[in-house]
């Protein structure tokens, strides 16, 4: 006999498992189907979590090798044990995936392993080890995430030409690594392998890195990464990657010069974005509509063209961020349970976990100019922040954009230490419609990095104290 559920979630990544837990908390009989064999999706298994482990460990190694002696910490001959670093990373992932399984048990979510196919608006069949099991569901949520994309002439084999999945599991440090794409993932992984000893070159099609980021921040970011040893070839189009004597040869066109150029390397990381993963779900047969880019079309309640089938996370439009998917997962579960589910897409922060970190929330200067919104700017450098100074991490600045007439905060952009954590204060401020004056009049503990936020808010009105 077929088991019946109020809510069946397809995909156990950040959006899917959060949606399932919230649904169960609200009294819905809930199941979550995952084909990977472990919960947590790309983010936890082969994405944001293992990459953050490598970012942290590579930074510690780099500091021990290059900085510690100058600070009076003499460590002797610092050696890299890549195998142990990878073991540490894998252990962290294992602990966290088991943690999600525990949360399922705690909240009485049924965990179903296998590949889901939707046969009708209320019927899902799961295939696992040659067995198929049919389930009925009043509501279905598609949360199947995304997969890496490549370029014509560049075939990912996860051995020499790798995606981010391959980049977190290399067995040795490549002598030369070429990264195609200057976005978040490429620059994070470039930082990891550069710190561990690789010569890293980034080839980007645009004339700047980090598309969509505030241009002033992007410029400063590139300057800092260049100082760290990462090379950039901007405004260049990759044509092909082929085997060579040295390992690989990347052929590209320099758009500015109009010349064909090449670079030899040991490994190539393809980091040109991701695409929605909806393969095998049977969407076109049941009538769930997608747009020209393969994203599932949804309304403001995240319903697809079939009202009891919802979609969240990377399979729909918007930034492919784990926390965006989580917010959508909670909103959908609450909507299904009869509550007012809500996502404020204007206040979703983005972070790049390099050193220094880069974080932003809200509009960039370029976007405000495009919308013809009049704004004021307040900036404060970490060079003038006492905590950053004593910690020898004084690169970067805080930038606040506020409405010229109302003083309402419209966007915040930070490059500097720990700003991935600091941005939460500004997301909260924006969620509650705060002005720059509100933040400027909020007492910040001394000495902390967050004082730079208060000073930038004061600078909106041209009255910073320490700069």
Catalytic residues: 446
Q: 245, 6, 281, 237: which is closest to 120 by C-alpha?
A: 281
* 322 vs 18: CA distance, rounded Å: 10
Q: Is 137 helix (H, G, I), strand (E, B) or coil?
A: strand
Q: What does the block give as tokens for 231?
A: 């090379």
Report CA Rg, the chain: 24
* 80 vs 9: CA distance, rounded Å: 42
Q: What does the block give as tokens for 319?
A: 């930034």
* 136 vs 31: CA distance, rounded Å: 11
Q: Is 148 helix (H, G, I), strand (E, B) or coil?
A: strand
Whole-Å CA distances, 229 to 194, 203, 232, 384, 443: 7, 15, 10, 25, 39
Residues ≥6 apart with Cβ < 8 Å to 157: none
**Interstrand relation of 309-311 and 131-142 (parallel, antiparallel or unpaired):** parallel
CA 421 to chain centroid = 14
What secondary structure letter does DSSP report for 306? S
Residues 116/285, Cβ–Cβ less than 8 Å: no
Residues 110/8, Cβ–Cβ less than 8 Å: no
Residues 226/136, Cβ–Cβ less than 8 Å: no
Q: What does the block give as tokens for 374?
A: 């009049």
* 395 vs 408: CA distance, rounded Å: 27
* 38 vs 46: CA distance, rounded Å: 11
Q: How deeply is 89 buried, as exposed, middle or buried, from its count of CB atoms within 10 A (0-12, 13-18, 19+)?
A: buried
Phi and psi at 275, nearest 5°, equal -125, 150
What secondary structure letter does DSSP report for 249? E
Q: What does the block give as tokens for 293?
A: 């880019």
């Amino acid at each position: 006999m077929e088991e019946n559920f109020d809510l069946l979630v397809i995909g156990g990544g950040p959006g899917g498992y959060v949606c399932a837990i919230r649904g169960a908390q609200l009294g819905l009989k809930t199941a979550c189907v995952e084909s990977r064999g472990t919960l947590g999706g790309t983010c936890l298994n082969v994405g944001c979590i293992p990459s953050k482990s490598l970012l942290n460990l590579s930074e510690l190694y780099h500091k021990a090798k290059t900085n510690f002696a100058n600070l009076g910490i003499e460590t002797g001959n610092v050696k890299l044990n890549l195998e142990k670093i990878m073991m540490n990373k894998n252990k962290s992932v294992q602990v966290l995936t088991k943690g999600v399984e525990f949360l399922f048990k705690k909240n009485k979510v049924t965990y179903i392993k296998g590949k889901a196919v939707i046969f009708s608006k209320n019927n899902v069949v799961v295939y696992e080890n040659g067995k198929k099991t049919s389930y009925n569901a009043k509501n279905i949520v598609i949360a199947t995430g995304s997969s890496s994309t490549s370029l014509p002439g560049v075939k990912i084999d996860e051995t020499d030409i790798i995606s981010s999945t391959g980049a977190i599991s290399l067995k040795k440090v490549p002598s030369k690594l070429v990264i195609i794409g200057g976005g978040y993932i490429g620059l994070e992984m470039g930082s990891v392998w550069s710190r561990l000893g690789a010569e890293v070159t980034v080839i980007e099609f645009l004339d700047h890195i980090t598309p969509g980021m505030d241009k002033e921040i992007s410029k400063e970011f590139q300057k800092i990464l260049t100082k760290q040893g990462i090379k950039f070839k901007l405004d260049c189009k990759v044509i092909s990657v082929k085997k060579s004597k040295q390992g690989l040869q990347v052929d590209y066109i320099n758009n500015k010069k109009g010349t064909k150029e090449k670079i030899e390397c040991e490994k190539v990381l393809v980091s040109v974005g991701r695409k929605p993963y909806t393969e095998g779900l049977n969407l076109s047969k049941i009538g769930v509509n997608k747009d020209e880019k393969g994203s599932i079309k949804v309304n403001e309640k995240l319903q697809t063209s079939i009202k009891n089938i919802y979609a969240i996370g990377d399979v729909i439009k918007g930034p492919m961020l784990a926390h965006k998917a989580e917010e959508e997962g909670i909103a959908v579960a609450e909507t299904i349970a009869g509550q007012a589910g809500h996502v404020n897409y204007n206040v979703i922060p983005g972070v790049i976990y390099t050193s220094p970190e880069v974080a932003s929330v809200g509009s960039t200067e370029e976007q405000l100019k495009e919308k013809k919104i009049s704004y004021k700017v307040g900036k404060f450098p970490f060079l003038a922040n006492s905590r950053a100074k004593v910690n020898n991490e004084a690169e970067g600045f805080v930038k606040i954009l506020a409405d010229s007439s109302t003083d309402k905060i419209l966007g915040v952009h930070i490059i500097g230490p720990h700003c991935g954590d600091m941005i939460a204060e500004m997301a909260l401020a924006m969620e509650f419609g705060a002005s720059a004056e509100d933040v400027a009049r909020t007492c910040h503990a001394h000495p902390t990095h967050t004082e730079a936020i208060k000073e930038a808010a004061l600078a909106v009105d041209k009255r910073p104290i320490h700069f």
